[in-house]
Structures are given as C-alpha cells and as structure tokens.
Chains A and B, each alone.
Chain A
Amino acid sequence: MAPLLVTGYSMLSALGTGRQQHLDALAAGRSGLGAHPIELDFETAAGAVRQALPELPAELQPWSTRLARMAYALLQELDEPLRRARETWRPDRIAVLLGTSTAGAETTEVAYKQFVDQGSFPRDYDFQRQHTFGAVLSIVRQLAGVDGPSWMASTACTSSGKTFATAQRLIAAGAIDAAIVGGLDTLCTMTLTGFHALQALDSAPCRPFREDRNGISIGEGGAFALVERAGDARVAIEGIGETSDAYHISAPHPEGSGAQAAMREALERAGRAPEDVHHVNAHGTGTRLNDTAEANAIQCVLGTEVPTVSTKAYTGHTLGAAAAIEMAFAACAIEEGWIPPAIGDGDIDPKIEVKIPTQKTSGTFERVLSNSFAFGGNNVSLLVARA
C-alpha cells in the first residue's frame, strides 16, 4: 500500500492547544499532569485540558458536550489544510474516521447523577445527540464541510491508531480520497474510578519506565490529522501493524508477543528494517507490567539502542486519543529534529534495557515507531516517516 500522506494535524491536551504550545512543553520537559476538576475519594494526578474550549455554533447547541467542543477546537486548528482538501476532493470523498474510548460518557454520568439524586435527567440531556459514538461524527462532518463515510473506532486505547489504518485501506480501495482521522477523549469519573478499582492509577504523576513506577495518570484531549491520496505532506504513515494478544482482556502478554507482532507488521508493510527506526514513542503507561512487556517487545524487535520515550508523562494517558496525539508527537520529532526527554521522578528501571533518554535529544529522526496497546489485547504500531 502507498504511504498515507499526512497533510495537516492538530492537537489538544493538558499541554495546550496546537502544535507550538505542545512543542514548547515537550522541549522544556514540562508535564501537564496535576490537579483536575473531578471530585474523587482518592488521590491521582491527571492531564486535564484547562484552556477554554470554543462554543459550538448556535444551531449545533443540542449536540454541545465537552467532547464535541474539543472536536471543534481540533477542527479550527486544521482549518487551512481542510480548506485546501475541500478544493481538491469532493466532500463525499472525504471521510471522517475517528476514535474514542468514552464517547459522551462524561455528559451521561453527570446527567445520570441528577437522575439518581432528583429522579429526572437534565432538560437538555439527549442520549442520542450527546452520548452515542455517532453524535460527534455528525458534528465533525457539519463543521468540517465534508460528507464522506464516517465512523468511530472504539478499541479502548488503540482507537485513534486504528483510524489511520482504515483510511489507508479505504484510499487504496478507491472508496475515498481523503479523511479526517484521529481521536479524542475526555476525563470522566467512571474512567478514573475504574482504573483506580484495577489498582492501575498512580497517586503521583505517572513515571513510565522508572524503577518505582506505580501506574497510570489519565489525561484528556485529542489530535486530528488530515490524510490524503496526494498532496503536500511533510510526514507520512509508511506502515501500520494491527494485532491481537489473544491472551487476556486487560493484562498484556508478559513477553509483549502481540506488541512485537504489531511492530514487525508495521515494518514489514513499510518494507523497512529495524535499523531504519530512529525513535520509539512508546505506549509507556507507567504500570509495572505494561512497561516491562513493552520494553521486552521493543528490545526483541529493534534492539536496545533506539531512543524510546513515553510522552504519557506529559499528557497523561488520553485513552482513545493517545495514538493520534502520539502520532502527532512522532511527526514533530521528524520535522523538528529533536525528541523530548523522558520525564518522571526516580531512576530508570535498571531491568529495562532499551535506551530511555532523560535529556532532550537532537538529531535526524527519519522514522518513528509509535505504539499503542489496549484492553482486549488490541495492538497498533504506526511507522511515521518523513514524506
């Protein structure tokens, strides 16, 4: 398959809105993890989006949720490449393929609390316009002025990574010419409480690959990318691996066998060798099992010398949005010629043999492998390259 050309991308997270705010935080090694607005009976840091989100136009107010307003912010950042794409391709040939884990759960949990407390839902709560996976698709199509096929991938923490693969296939099949891909997710009580119940949350900001790491910090945000059959692209997705562990619903295979297979498949589809990879943006959630399994997998596939960083120490784990945000960080590394330091308290785990640079590293990064792994044993690896 031809490489998937990325002709524009936008991002939103605890680090800010847009490419420059993210670059500033990554270059400075500044984490966005900290206090969050959700009331909980346990301690945890989170990557909350603190900046104001744009209000939807008046006619779309019935669809207004935090998730939809995040989508609007991401589209505003993508305005210029989208305008060019609409001039090049028919609107019904531009797809909207997004990923989310929570969809409108943040809105529903607030509404449901009122239902429990007062016996009725808020007057403006609408399950179909505000909760379902399809609700945001409709908003994005209208705001972006496109009318192609659209769906949400929801495979937990690989969701937005899957959208790049789908777009690549649909372009190759001749079904579409371009797509808005990526994903988004919001913080919600249910997710934080669920990961706490699994004893997977760190009470302090997460410390991927550190010796005393103790779990995840959840984040929120998203990233959209415009991908096209042809166009002026600085980066491309050369190969994508999609595999399953077929092992356990929530625990990774101890040797990371599914992760290895995903990385190998991405390389194979791109026609590249392990030595062609210059940096790994790791899934790196900060849990003991995940980081060990992933480090083993990276070592088996790429050896120990490829600098590997988990940017979840900056943004938190943004769940369904993570793969898209981290694809954007991979693109930044290629375009800017540096990778951010691996941040987090404590020493790097001496049992982890892959190289984890704790300083900003400058160099030429032609290809970056970006990993995402999920509940269900679902794995996605994206090989991002200079176009």
Chain B
Amino acid sequence: MSAPTVHVAGVGLWMQRYPSAAAWAARAPEASEEPLKPKGEAFDRVNRRRASQMGRAIGDAVCEAMAHASVEPRTTPVIVGSSIGEASAMIGLLDQMWRSDEPMSPAVFTVSVHNAASGLLSISMKNKGYTTSIAADYDTPAATLLEGIGLLATGHEAVCCVCADEDSPRSLLEHAPNWDMLAGAVVLTRSRTGGALADLTVEGIGDGDLDTAGVDDAFGHNPQIGMIDLIDAAQRGATGALRLDRGKGRGYLAKLRS
C-alpha cells in the first residue's frame, strides 16, 4: 500500500485513571476512589444526556485532540472508529424485548446506531460537513487512519480520527478476553505544522519495531488499543513501525517519524 504521509498535529484520550492524553503523557493518574466517568463537555446539555459513556469519552478525546492541534470543531471532519459501537444500548433493547413487557424506548433505539456518537457530536459542534462511523474489529484504528488519509489526500487540511470501544459485552463474550472502555483521538493534517508530533504513514501488513503503551490487560484487549499505542509513541517522539492491532488483527503498520 502506498498511502500518502500525513502529520500528527494533536492527540487526546480517555481511559480509566487517565482521562486525558496530558495525564497519560505525565503518567499522572487521577487519584480518585470512585471510577472516573467521561465529562462529555463536547456535547450540549441535551445531547450529553443522550450520549452513552463511550460517546462522552469520544467527545472528551476529540475535544482534547482538536484543542491540541488548534483546529476548528465546526469544520474539521470527524471519523469515529469502533468495533462494537453502542453494544450496551443494543443489549438494553434486547432486554426490553425479551425480558420485560415494557415497550421499547424510542429514545434508546435512536442512539443504538453505530453513528450515534458522531451524529451527536456533529449536532453539538454545529459541524455540517463530513462525519462517519466505521468498524473493522482489531483493524479499526488502521481503517480510521486510512479513512482520514483519504480525506486529506483529496482536499481537507485536517481531520480528527477517534477510536473507542466501551466495556466489552461480557454476557456475549463468555469465552473471549474482556476489556475496559477507552477512547483515543488524533488530529491529522496534510501540511506539517510547527507543533506536529510526528509524520505518519499507514502501510500494509507487517511487523512493528516500536514498543506498545504499557497498559493493563483490561485495556490491552480493547480492539482500539492500537490508537492508544499510536498516541503513546507520538508523545514519546518515537521513530519506527508500530503494529496497530497488538497482533490480533491483520497487522497494519503505522510508520512514525518524529
């Protein structure tokens, strides 16, 4: 594959104990007794209520990355990658159908779609341009970056690629490793800016030579961990090839040069 080189201009993330890329870079975990919840400040009041916890984490990561890169939320395309999307909303609907006599909630149904977060973000950010939601299991981070690179190669100056999966649906994944929620976002630009963290090329299947982020297994099994690995490598100023799937997908590589 010969995708054009682009530039990492901003990063954002949300993980339990590390609710921002800045906290992750400083290895400064939140000292909270209670589990953290994403703030969802990207959303207006009405849509924050509609957004799932994953949607709010996506919003937090996107806001941080866009602010870091100094790009305009009203016009910057957002690509949301997620392997299972709003699975907990789907399970809630299944419970309503099969366990209770309650009628299905139309409000929950409308936000059970895979593009709920991208739609709510576009409304809250008043972005009338491009947005999408995609999925490719453990290859979702690579796919999200490639979708962004396609946009940059054909006219856009900057795009925001965000990958997130909520806590794994434990009832449906009885015999597979489970994971905890995370979200990671990068702003990619066509031209190199002064504050760019790294040059980035996504390449075909191969072996990486860069270290992955040191996270708990609970995050390591999340299909979107490759985006956290990319953010971590960019923050460290690493140069080399990074597998975007921790060996669980098809093996797409991010080549970084700081």
Would you call A112 and B150 a contact (CB within 8 A)? no
Q: Which of B4, B47, B91, B119 contacts A378, CB < 8 Å?
A: B119
Would you call A154 and B127 a contact (CB within 8 A)? no
**Is A128 in the interface zone, CB < 8 Å from B?**
yes
Q: Which residue of B lies closest to A174 (CB)?
A: B2
**Is A332 in the interface zone, CB < 8 Å from B?**
no
B202-226 interface code vs A (CB 8 A; 1 in, 0 out): 0011000000000000000000000
Would you call A170 and B136 a contact (CB within 8 A)? no
Would you call B114 and A155 a contact (CB within 8 A)? yes
* A121, B94: Cα distance in complex, Å: 14
Q: A108-B172, A175-B150, A248-B123 are in contact. Are A133 and B114 (CB under 8 A)?
A: yes
Would you call B133 and A151 a contact (CB within 8 A)? no
Counting chain B CB atoms within 10 Å of each CB, the highest count among A151, A162, A376 belongs to A376
* A249, B113: Cα distance in complex, Å: 10
**Is B105 in the interface zone, CB < 8 Å from A?**
yes
Q: A134-B83, A149-B142 are in contact. Are A249 and B119 (CB under 8 A)?
A: yes
Task: Give the total of B residues in contact with A, Cβ under 8 Å.
Answer: 68
Would you call A155 and B106 a contact (CB within 8 A)? no
* A378, B115: Cα distance in complex, Å: 9
Q: Which residue of A lies closest to B85 (CB)?
A: A154
A residues 152-176 near B (Cβ < 8 Å) are 152-156, 162, 166, 168-170, 172-176
Which of A46-54, A189-197, A323-331 contacts the other chain?
A: A189-197
**Is A375 in the interface zone, CB < 8 Å from B?**
yes
Q: Which of B50, B109, B142 contacts A194, CB < 8 Å?
A: B109
Would you call B149 and A175 a contact (CB within 8 A)? yes
A179-209 interface code vs B (CB 8 A; 1 in, 0 out): 0000000000110011111110000000000
Would you call B115 and A151 a contact (CB within 8 A)? no
Would you call B103 and A92 a contact (CB within 8 A)? no
Question: For B125, what are the chain A residues with a Cβ–Cβ distance below 8 Å?
Answer: 246
Which of A78-86, A237-245, A349-357 contacts the other chain?
A: A237-245
Would you call A175 and B122 a contact (CB within 8 A)? no
Question: For A198, what are the chain B residues with a Cβ–Cβ distance below 8 Å?
Answer: 106, 109-110
**Is A229 in the interface zone, CB < 8 Å from B?**
no
Would you call B93 and A153 a contact (CB within 8 A)? no
* A176, B149: Cα distance in complex, Å: 12
Q: Which of B99, B136, B151, B154 contacts A137, CB < 8 Å?
A: B136
**Is A290 in the interface zone, CB < 8 Å from B?**
no
Q: Which of A103, A150, A195, A249 contacts B50, CB < 8 Å?
A: A249
Would you call B132 and A150 a contact (CB within 8 A)? no
Q: Which of A133, A156, A168, A376 contacts B83, CB < 8 Å?
A: A133
Q: A116-B98, A190-B90, A374-B115 are in contact. Are A134 and B149 (CB under 8 A)?
A: no
**Is A258 in the interface zone, CB < 8 Å from B?**
yes
B residues 157-174 near A (Cβ < 8 Å) are 169, 171-174
Would you call A153 and B134 a contact (CB within 8 A)? yes
Q: Which of B114, B120, B150 contacts A170, CB < 8 Å?
A: B150
Q: A155-B118, A375-B119, A376-B113 are in contact. Are A133 and B136 (CB under 8 A)?
A: yes
Would you call A169 and B153 a contact (CB within 8 A)? yes
* A1, B150: Cα distance in complex, Å: 12
B85-113 interface code vs A (CB 8 A; 1 in, 0 out): 10000110111011100011110011111
Q: Which residue of B lies closest to A111 (CB)?
A: B172
Would you call A134 and B137 a contact (CB within 8 A)? yes
* A93, B113: Cα distance in complex, Å: 30
Q: A133-B114, A137-B136, A152-B136 are in contact. Are A175 and B2 (CB under 8 A)?
A: yes
The minimal Cβ–Cβ distance linking B56 to chain A, given in whole angstroms, is 15
A249-292 interface code vs B (CB 8 A; 1 in, 0 out): 11000000110010000000000000000000000000000000
Q: Which of B84, B103, B113, B126 contacts A375, CB < 8 Å?
A: B113
Would you call A156 and B115 a contact (CB within 8 A)? yes
The minimal Cβ–Cβ distance linking A182 to chain B, given in whole angstroms, is 15
Q: A134-B83, A169-B153, A250-B110 are in contact. Are A151 and B147 (CB under 8 A)?
A: yes
Would you call A134 and B139 a contact (CB within 8 A)? yes
Would you call A149 and B1 a contact (CB within 8 A)? yes
Q: Which residue of B lies closest to A257 (CB)?
A: B128
* A40, B140: Cα distance in complex, Å: 35
* A156, B115: Cα distance in complex, Å: 7
Question: For A174, what are the chain B residues with a Cβ–Cβ distance below 8 Å?
Answer: 2-4, 153
Question: For A213, what are the chain B residues with a Cβ–Cβ distance below 8 Å?
Answer: none
**Is B11 in the interface zone, CB < 8 Å from A?**
no
Counting chain A CB atoms within 10 Å of each CB, the highest count among B85, B134, B205 belongs to B134
Would you call B109 and A150 a contact (CB within 8 A)? no
**Is B143 in the interface zone, CB < 8 Å from A?**
yes
10 pairs from A and B in contact (CB 8 Å cutoff): A128-B173, A133-B83, A133-B85, A133-B135, A134-B138, A154-B114, A173-B149, A173-B150, A193-B104, A194-B110
- Residue positions of A touching B, CB distance < 8 A: 1, 92-93, 101, 103, 105, 108-109, 112-113, 115-117, 121, 127-128, 131-135, 137, 148-156, 162, 166, 168-170, 172-176, 189-190, 193-199, 242-250, 257-258, 261, 374-378
Using A149-B146, A243-B130, A378-B118 as known contacts, list a sample of 8 further A-B pairs with CB atoms less than 8 Å apart, ordered by residue number in A.
A103-B135, A149-B252, A151-B135, A190-B93, A190-B94, A194-B106, A197-B106, A244-B127
